[in-house]
Chains A and B, each alone.
Chain A
Amino acid sequence: MTTLETAAQPEYLRRIAIDPLSRVEGHGKVTLLVDRDHRVRQARLHIVEFRGFEKFIQGRPYWEVPVVVQRLCGICPVSHNLAASKAVDQLVGAREITPTAEKIRRLMHYGQTLQSHAVHFFHLASPDFLFDFDDPAAHRNVGGVMADFPDIARQGVRLRKYGQEVIRVTAGKRVHGSGNVPGGVNKALTLQERNYLLADLDLMIQWGRNILKLIKQAYALNPGYFTHFATIRSNYLSLVRADGALDLYHGGLRARNDQGEILFDHLDYRRYAQVLREQVKPWSYMKFPFIHSLGPDRGWYRVGPLARVNNCDFIPTPLAEEERKEFMALGEGQPVHLTLAYHWARMIELLHAAEAIQELLLDPDIFGDELVVRGETAREGVGVIEAPRGTLFHHYRINEDGLVEKANLIVSTTNNNQAMNESIRQVAARYLDGKELTEPLLNQIEVAVRAYDPCLSCATHALGQMPLIVELVEEESGAVVDSLVRDADGVAQDAH
């Protein structure tokens, strides 16, 4: 770990806040404490929102939970809906749901992965690839992409729309549907719906391949930057299928260390509490999970596309598998630790999602009429899924009347908390240290956070310019000597 978490004498340092972070989902801020010589002494990513879902679903009927908790998020609500549904399946004794139900759920999930990954890359992250760091902030956004690269922007919009349509057909609505019910789903697909979704799919797969070309070109142009920017060595956690394949819907937990060695494998996710712990730090609302056996200092890990592609033995669709092999060559036998490679891995998954949707649409099980199973009821259920942003844990306990007594959610982004902090500290130390801080430099901090595609509150999302206040504070008195404010329209002005 770098040592920039806590400065020795913060009261004598200048505080710079990037608040809120832009082009990420949710609200968060980064604070930097800098001394007179512009040396960065402390860098922290703070999550400033409190959500409270675990508390306010207490006393609600369990069958309501998947539909309520999906309101945590507007970008990947299907993840919360499915993780909760998998937990609720255990409550109603559905040890194994029917093939039709599982395939409809998978379709829903891959549709969501496709649209969520498309939103992140095209709408939020693509300006970081397509424009220079010192590109004017007013232009360095999705509007700038639309103006300069209309074809790329259009593909992003269409890919997202396609994923949303898969969700609508399976869940009833594009956002916050109610297709999943305790023990299964409430509808299968009709032939008409299947044909509707098949019509555009080849195009989506083609576009998925094109984006990967774009990313690989960007890497080839500046391999040094990709290799070193925000790169940290870490452990990795994800679900994998029983045969080691990448599986976003179901599997056992696998963790690898930074050498790629297996820490634990195919662990039943209902036993997650045996291997994972959460640490609380006084300066953040977000907890810091770690692998128990390694302790908080060495046990923090990364989740999400980079972790999944590093962790799996293969991807079970041909085009994405080909891309995975090429990607893994970067690691030369070890996991790929490049933080910017998150984008690359994410687009491999986008391609995989499109291919998986194709396989599912051609599977006759999606027309089946056995939708729900029930069995012996239970009082506790754990549902885990690979959400677009990483491993997502939902854990519920109910009372004898069926009302929720206790809930514990470990949201994907929380798993990456320490890693995001480590990445911004690396950027601060490597790129900002000793320099007069400028907006383009501060943007590099955001580029590092953005690579993780964090969903900081898992509900709201800020899109557009980063309102930013930089204050110069008198060392002894703490008085503000000067400050610069950039508003949400990207206009910088003196605050005085």
Chain B
Amino acid sequence: MSEDQSFMLDGRRVPFQDGQTVMTAALAAGIYIPHLCFNPEFAPHGSCRVCLVKVNGRVQAACATPAASGQIVQNETGELREIRRGILQMLFVEGNHVCPACEKSGACQLQAVAYYVGMLAPHYTHFYPRRPVDASHPEAVIDFNRCILCELCVRASRDVDGKNIFAVQGRGIQAHLVVNTTSGKLGATDFSLADKAAQVCPTGAILTKHRGYEIPIGQRLYDRKPISVVGDVATVAESKGGRRHE
């Protein structure tokens, strides 16, 4: 490792170490690049495309692009903001994300990133897919309406919990999250709220049961400061996935 490795991000010199990506180096330098499927504890996934940046003029996912000396990276530009906003607008119509009634509202990474990139209202025609709610588990509920296929729960359950409870089935627009049991029900698994997979969901798809709206408006994770300052749901220690400690 050489000490003078660095790249330029929006005109600012960002040092990096071997093995770091544009995303991890930027975050280490205190620069926020919006993202949803990225979590520093897991291998990059590159699926949500929210972290698109321009590296030497080419649009690439910051989470999956290795940092290299001399790179010229653009992050906060009008063009990229527009692309990101478009991606968020598509995510919102692809599932059923009803913020006004969702208990995750105010502590939801999807909502916070949408605000960050300037999405204040839906744009495209809603798909209104018919998706189930799985409340078969005594402690947790999965609302598939809110899944954005980031696969963080899939990775956490497989790589950290060693339970391999979740998977994504189908391709393209048919892709959907499933529970790896014969019945397809979470209640048939040994899933636990202590699992890593229970802590990483960036939306309100995996939630603790019987607990909605416990945090008063004004005290929720993203009520006072934007996500660029607060950080991710999964990585904010106090938040425990968007909830404060009991």
- Residues on A facing B (Cβ under 8 Å): 59-61, 63-64, 67-68, 71, 92, 171-173, 176-182, 186-187, 401-403
Contacts and interface: CB of A to CB of B under 8 A. Distances in A.
Given A63-B210, A64-B212, A178 B217 contact: yes
Nearest to B218: A172
A317 B217 CA distance: 32
6 contacts: A61-B135, A61-B141, A171-B217, A178-B217, A179-B216, A401-B136
Interface in B191-215: 209-215
Interface string B155-196: 000000000000000000000000000000001000000000
Contacts of B101: 64, 67-68, 71
B212 A67 contact: yes
Contacts of B103: 63-64, 67
A101 to B, nearest CB: 13
B30 to A, nearest CB: 31
Given A63-B210, A64-B212, A403 B133 contact: yes
Given A64-B103, A67-B103, A67-B212, A59 B133 contact: yes
Nearest to A66: B213
A401 B135 contact: yes
Contacts of B129: none
Contacts of A71: 100-101
Contacts of A177: 217
Given A67-B101, A172-B217, A181 B212 contact: yes
Interface in B212-229: 212-218
Interface in B26-74: none
A195 B68 CA distance: 58
A170 to B, nearest CB: 10
B100 to A, nearest CB: 7
Given A61-B133, A176-B100, A67 B210 contact: no
Interface residues of B, number: 19
A62 to B, nearest CB: 8
A136 to B, nearest CB: 38
Contacts of B136: 401
Nearest to A187: B216
Contacts of B212: 61, 63-64, 67, 181-182
A182 B103 CA distance: 13
A421 to B, nearest CB: 34
A92 B133 contact: no
B209 A61 contact: yes
A314 to B, nearest CB: 35
Interface string B87-118: 00000000000001101000000000000000
A173 B105 CA distance: 13
Contacts of A67: 101, 103, 212-213
A404 to B, nearest CB: 10
Contact of A92 (B187, B210, B213, B216): B210
Contact of A63 (B187, B211, B217): B211
Contacts of B141: 61, 402
A456 B101 CA distance: 23
A67 B103 CA distance: 9
A262 B100 CA distance: 43
Contacts of B209: 61, 63, 402
Given A67-B103, A71-B100, A403 B213 contact: no
Contacts of B187: 401
Contact of B216 (A63, A176, A186, A402): A186
Interface centre among A68, A176, A181, A187 (most CB of B within 10 A): A181
A60 B146 CA distance: 13
Contacts of B211: 63
A186 B103 CA distance: 13
A342 to B, nearest CB: 32
A186 to B, nearest CB: 5
A173 B100 contact: no
Contact of A186 (B133, B135, B210, B213): B213
Given A71-B100, A171-B217, 11 more contacts: A61-B135, A61-B141, A63-B210, A63-B212, A67-B212, A71-B101, A172-B218, A178-B213, A186-B216, A402-B210, A403-B133
A403 B216 contact: no
B14 to A, nearest CB: 39
